[in-house]
Structure 1
Amino acid sequence: MAEQAMECGVTHIVCTPHIHQGYFDNTQENIIEVAKTFSQYLTDAGCQLKIASAAELRICPEIMFWYKNNTLPYLGTWQGKNVILLELPHSHVPAGTDNLIRWLLNHNIQPLIAHPERNRDILADYRKFEMLKRCGCLFQLTAGSVIGRFSKPIQTLALKMLEQKAITVIASDSHNLDRRPNDMGRCRAFLQEHCDRDYVTTLVETNPKEITQTLGWL
């Protein structure tokens, strides 16, 4: 997967495994340790890919306790706030999401919502996305959504969000070599034909670099 990423033109990757209570019980501590092992493996293999680690946090009340315990895996910083990559359920936008977002922002934490274009509530009612935007969220689009890997409606919604310049970053959300590969190269080539090129550069280079510059790259 590291080799595939580099073939797509990627030089740096933040590894963001899921933290989802009862399903993926990862912690900041074990993610950091595995990232160190992976980095050493890449070095031994002669791979030049640079990595850092954070997590994709499924929305849950425990986030407030992790904050108080100083165990939130931050993705970096944005305009003076610590950034977390926050995942909503694919099926809906949970009741009370707006309250949690406000709590996070009041505690100097900037929510970056992962793949909003694949949330079924948002697909059915774009006002749910607009509500999250009004609350102060940033948004991370999945590259595969842009090129149509998931479905035509998801691609259409992704392009609408891009047309409105409502997206902050585009990421691979890569899971494996085949079904969920790294689509960053194909996505960038597609967008350069359909979007403002400066905005494309902002999405895949400028903003990601700005957010992650405080991370410890391995």
Structure 2
Amino acid sequence: MIDTHCHVLPMCDDGPAEWQTCIEMAEHAAAQGIRTIIATPHHRRAPYNNPPEKIRELVRRFNRMAEQEKLAVTVVEGQEFHWEGNAPWQRAVEGLQTLGSTGYALLEFPHRRTPASIKEDLATFRARGLRVVIAHPERHLPFIREPHKLYALLREGAYAQLTASSLTGHHGKAVQQVAWTMARNGWIHLLASDAHDLVYRPNRLGAAYALAAGELGDRLPELWQRNAERLIQDEELHREEFVTRRAGVRWWNIRLP
């Protein structure tokens, strides 16, 4: 498996505080069958600032340690870019590190609002040869309240990445309901751990894949795994046929089959 969103690098954000935890997180990932981790430290989310050169150095150091420890895991560069919008492009993307140094950029939005300029921003990203992956849309309040807002961004070419712990219910029942409904609607293109540590936000990617296969069958989990491989190869991700929900319907009022 490939984990496309993980806070495994130490001493740079709210992930591990020391190298020992970092190595233990990698061992836990390897035990689930994860062989490649895209390290995605927060960037431009106060107080975290992790430009590409800092991330590259931490990744090089991790991979040297992993080789010494004979870990069957490789870490590659990535970043979770906190996207506020409404800023001059050159300044806004200063320090942008794409996922695995491909053409995919992982963006997280402020929890309570979607940037007003996001459609224009998506067009600018496309014009510069970049494709946007939206991090944990199931935890973004505007998408929970008005699901058609996420649908509109997917129609504009964005991709959506679901957090494993949301499927397993570790972010609460409301978020779990959102996560499963988005998955059933075909609105999810990647599944990732978003792991931060070994205790409070551990890597549950293997458990989430197993749960999804049991609930949804193999088709969607296999699509997510193949998309992770396509992302690493800088290939176009595959999409499911979109299913719309009536605007204004709250996710927790939708009865899942």
Q: Does 1:50 align with 2:74?
A: yes
Q: Is the 8 A contact 2:77 2:100 kept in 1?
A: no
Query: Which residue does 1:170 correspond to in 2?
Result: 191
Using the aligned pairs only, state the percent identity.
28
| Structure 2: segments with no counterpart, 5+ residues | 1-24, 235-257
Q: Does 1:149 align with 2:174?
A: no
Query: Which residue does 2:245 correspond to in 1?
Result: none
SS in 1 for 2:214: helix
Please point out which of 15, 37, 41 is paired with 1:13.
37
Please point out which of 85, 89, 108 is paired with 1:64.
89
Task: Tell me, in whole angstroms, the C-alpha distance in 2 between the residues paired with 1:16 and 1:153.
Answer: 25
Report the residue type matching 2:220 in the other structure.
Answer: Y
Report the residue type matching 1:162 in the other structure.
Answer: A
- The alignment covers a number of residue pairs equal to 209
TM-score (norm 1): 0.89
1:138 Cα deviation from its structure 2 partner: 0.4
SS in 1 for 2:62: helix
Q: Does 1:87 align with 2:108?
A: yes
Deviations 1:164-195 (A, max 9, x none): 11111100000000111000111011011111
Q: Does 1:37 align with 2:61?
A: yes
**Which of 55-64 and 98-107 deviates more?**
55-64
TM-score (norm 2): 0.76
SS in 2 for 1:10: coil
Query: Which residue does 1:183 correspond to in 2?
Result: 204
Moved over 4 A (4+): 66-69
Deviations 1:51-75 (A, max 9, x none): 1111011114568326987x53111
SS in 2 for 1:117: helix
Q: Is the 8 A contact 1:92 1:122 kept in 2?
A: no
Deviations 1:105-128 (A, max 9, x none): 122211100000000111111122
Report the residue type matching 2:166 in the other structure.
Answer: S
Report the residue type matching 2:232 in the other structure.
Answer: T
1:99-138 equivalences in 2 (<5 Å): 99-138=120-159
| Structure 1: segments with no counterpart, 5+ residues | none
Q: Is the 8 A contact 1:112 1:137 kept in 2?
A: yes
Q: Is the 8 A contact 1:66 1:72 kept in 2?
A: no
Q: Is the 8 A contact 1:16 1:55 kept in 2?
A: yes
Q: Provide closer, same or farther for how the CA distance between residues 117 and 74 of structure 1 changes in structure 2, counting only shifts above 3 A.
A: same
RMSD of aligned Cα (Å): 2.0
Task: Tell me, in whole angstroms, the C-alpha distance in 2 between the residues paired with 1:16 and 1:63.
Answer: 24
Deviations 1:114-146 (A, max 9, x none): 000000111111122112112211011000001
Please point out which of 200, 225, 230 is paired with 1:210.
230
